[in-house]
Structure 1
Amino acid sequence: MTERLVVGGALFHRGRLLAARRSAPPELAGRWELPGGKCEPGETPEQALVRELREELGIEAEPLERIPGEWPLKPGYVLQVWTARLLSGDPRPLEDHDELRWLAPEERDTVNWLDQDRPAVAEAVRLLRTGSPAEG
């Protein structure tokens, strides 16, 4: 069985990382994640990420590089994460989220991340601390 790809965005802006609090489904509500969503047939992961960030947050973003690794979600789904730079717009929680926070690297652990997002968040924070060109 082929796993369906879910893309997440480690969105950087002004030395901070965007965290999004889930409002649905009930078993994930209240936990924090890197925003994104399912890759549709015929889409590249980068195209899916741009579309999902537009739909979920009302922003335009540029995917930069994939964070190494992938993480299993519910059966049949796997998460891959890309760093991304905010190009335009002010992120708003439009779909599946009820709160957003820009976190400085030292604030990473101030939210309760979904377990599958934790490794990618750790790598994203490492990139922020080393002055990744993605910080925009």
Structure 2
Amino acid sequence: MTDRVVVAGAVYDRGRLLAARRSAPPELAGRWELPGGKLEPGERPEQALVRELREELGVEARPVERIPGEWPLMPGLVLQVWTVRLLSGEPRPLEDHDELRWLGPEEIHTVDWLDQDRPAVAEAARRLPAPGR
């Protein structure tokens, strides 16, 4: 049996990365993650990411490139991350999150990321433009 895929977006805007604080389930509440969600049957990962960002944040976004790697979330579930460019809308926490924060390169480690998101966040942070550019 193949693992189910969860997609997440490293959403960039003006040299910052978007972090989303979980409001549920209780064991994850208060921790930070890259926004996204599970693939629906028949969906390609990029399609799922566009849908999830629309549902969770109320934005239209375009996946740009997949960050190499795949991270286990729990048995049977793996995380894949894409860099994302916002096309329209201002992100707001609509589902599963109670706060959003834009983090510059020097602020990436100021929030308590979910453990399984940390390697992907490190890769996403490396892709941020240097401050002042």
TM-score normalized with structure 1 length: 0.93
User: How many pairs does the alignment contain?
Assistant: 131
Query: Which blocks of at least 5 consecutive residues in structure 2 are unaligned?
Result: none
Name the aligned partner's letter for residue 92 of structure 1: R
Q: CA RMSD in A?
A: 1.1
Deviation at 1:129, TM superposition (A): 3.5
How many Å separate the matches in 2 of 1:60 and 1:21?
A: 20
The answer on whether the counterparts of 2:9 and 2:49 sit within 8 Å (CA) in structure 1 is yes
Correspondence list, 1:35-46, <5 A: 35-46=35-46
Query: Which blocks of at least 5 consecutive residues in structure 1 are unaligned?
Result: 132-136
1:32 aligns with 2:14: no
The answer on whether the counterparts of 2:15 and 2:128 sit within 8 Å (CA) in structure 1 is yes
Flag the 1:130–1:65 CA change in 2: closer, same or farther, 3 A. Answer: farther
1:120 maps to: 120
Correspondence list, 1:1-136, <5 A: 1-129=1-129
How many Å separate the matches in 1 of 2:98 and 2:110?
A: 17
Deviation at 1:76, TM superposition (A): 1.2
TM-score normalized with structure 2 length: 0.96
Name the aligned partner's letter for residue 58 of structure 2: G
Q: Describe the superposition over 1:45-82 as per-residue Cα deviations: whole angstroms up to 9, x where unpaired.
A: 00000000000000000000000100111221100000
How many Å separate the matches in 1 of 2:113 and 2:129?
A: 19
Stretches of 4+ aligned residues off by more than 6 angstroms:
none
Deviation at 1:130, TM superposition (A): 5.5
